[in-house]
Amino acid sequence: MPSAVTFSVAPDFYRHAVSEIRLALPVSVVRRLGEDAGVVELRTGPEDASAQHRLANAVRANEVQFVRHLAAADAQTKTSALRGGPEVAVDWVLDAVLDQIEPGDEISLHVWDSGQSPYAPGKVRRPLLEALMDAGARIVTSGAPSTVSVCLGEERSTAGVGPSQDGLIDWAGGRIRLASRPDQISRAGFKLEELFSLIGTPTGTTAIDLGASPGGWTRVLRDIGFSDVITVDPADLDPRLADDPGVRHHRTTAGEFLHASAGSQTPVDLIVNDMRMVPHLSAATMVEAADLLTVGGLGVVTFKIGTSNPIKQADESLETLSEAYDIEFVRQLQHNRSELTVVARRS
């Protein structure tokens, strides 16, 4: 009997995500919900876990890299069937989820849209929230064991209850929203902040930021506690970093820095690389930089893959990276554009 799961992706990478899912799992059918979401039904035996858990495990194993977020899909329907007012959608969701919720259960509630859905998510979320509370559920913003998820898609809609940990990210639709701060230097910093919210904050004292200008990632590294950040870029850093005693700027290219540092640089705890470079060169640069990392130290790199055969680009670049690292995390984050974020540990 098929078991279904909703998945969210970057719109331009939908078909690549579907290709990955089909390679990793026994897919029965895939249907598109809207521009950035789909629902996949898996062939399931009596001993198999839910589709959400199986797909979550495939993402964690880096077999599926272009899926950002998952949600249970206990029920699905053509969105046209929900027209007639938000109460129609609310009643449909309640029919799908209420028998799985006991009075006193602590749950999160995620409602989002994909494409041109008939209702704004808030029009459905508010009465649904009230109905769930009337049923005795305790609704919390985040951190609940289970999540009631509703995706209002342009073509189809889904609803279900699933384990929050198998959602991959605890935001509706995976659309994490990070607040700008007065000391923020660039939007690029959001990529690193989002990553650390998922994998945990790395520890250490010294880090190298390759291709650092203007310093968005350097600012994040200083904020999370790295007391010594070595920045490498021919261009200037933002003036707000120029007088920071915890930042040492090398006005040179990454290649020149790595050549000059060979055998002379004390090993560091973390190397990050957000350079605009084709993926195989970024991977090769990180392999060359591995000798500057302590054994067990982390490397973080973004692969600028574009939309032309991105799976092949990613696989070849990860193979290169694995010459010096154990790959721990590969995913297209909400704040990535045509990129993958990779976390690797020096082997």
pLDDT of 340 above 60: yes
Q: What percent of the chain has pLDDT over 90?
A: 92
Q: Which of 116, 151, 174 is the last residue of a domain?
A: 174
What pLDDT is stored for residue 242 in this prediction? 83
pLDDT reported for residue 179: 87
pLDDT band at 173 (very low <50, low <70, confident <90, very high): very high
CATH of the domain at 280: 3.40.50.150
In a domain? residue 181: no
End-to-end CA distance of the chain: 42
How sure is the predictor about 305, in pLDDT bands with cuts at 50, 70 and 90?
very high
Checking if the pLDDT of 1 tops 80, the result is no
3-class SS letters over the chain: CCEEEEEECCHHHHHHHHHHHHHHCCEEEEEEEECCEEEEEECCCCCCCCHHHHHHHHHHCCCCCCCCEEEECCEEEEHHHHCCCHHHHHHHHHHHHHHHCCCCCEEEEEEEEECCCCCCHHHHHHHHHHHHHHCCCEECCCCCCEEEEEEEECCEEEEEEEEHHHHCCCCHHHCCCCCCCCCCCCCHHHHHHHHHHHHCCCCCCEEEEECCCCCHHHHHHHHCCCCEEEEECCCCCCHHHHCCCCEEEECCCHHHHHHHHCCCCCCEEEEEECCCCCHHHHHHHHHHHHHHEEEEEEEEEEEECCCCCHHHHHHHHHHHHCCCEEEEEEECCCCCCCEEEEEEEEC
167 in the same domain as 222: no
Q: Look up the domain containing 200 and give its range.
A: 188-346
Return the pLDDT at 243. Answer: 86
pLDDT tens per residue, range 180-230: 888 889 999 999 999 999 999 999 999 999 999 999 999 999 999 999 999
Same domain, 253 and 128: no
- The angle at the Cα of 148, spanning 143 to 153, to the nearest 5 degrees, equals 125
Domain-located, residue 183 = no
Same domain, 92 and 169: yes
The residue count for the chain? 347
149 and 266 share one domain: no
Between helix 86-97 and helix 121-134 the angle, nearest 10°, is 50
- 174 is written with which tokens? 């995976």
Residue 83 lies in a domain: yes
Tens digit of each residue's pLDDT (9 = 90 or more) over 216-253 = 999 999 999 999 999 999 999 999 998 899 999 999 99
Same domain, 162 and 193: no
pLDDT tens digit sequence for 63-99: 999 999 999 999 999 999 999 899 999 999 999 999 9
- 105 and 54 both lie in a single domain: yes
Does any domain span residue 307?
yes
Mean pLDDT of the residues in the chain = 95
Same domain, 164 and 192: no
What confidence tens digit (pLDDT) does each residue in 107-165 have?
999 999 999 999 999 999 999 999 999 999 999 999 999 999 999 999 999 999 999 99
Question: What pLDDT score was predicted for residue 44?
Answer: 87
CATH code assigned at 13: 3.30.2130.30
Same domain, 214 and 97: no
Instruction: Check if the beta carbon of residue 38 is closer than 8 Å to that of residue 155.
Output: no
Q: Is position 182 within any domain?
A: no
Same domain, 161 and 39: yes
**Domain contains 180:** no
Q: Which of 152, 174, 196 is the last residue of a domain?
A: 174
What was the pLDDT predicted at 47? 78
- Is residue 119 included in any domain, yes or no? yes
- pLDDT over 80 (residue 335): yes
Cβ contact 51:3 at 8 Å: yes
Domain presence at residue 120: yes
Q: How many domains does the chain have?
A: 2
Q: Which of 174, 204, 220 is the last residue of a domain?
A: 174
Q: In terms of domains, do 203 and 283 share one?
A: yes
**Whether residue 272 sits in one domain with residue 194:** yes
Residue 118 CB neighbour total at 10 angstroms: 19
Distance CA 121, CA 114 (A): 10
Q: Do 164 and 71 share a structural domain?
A: yes
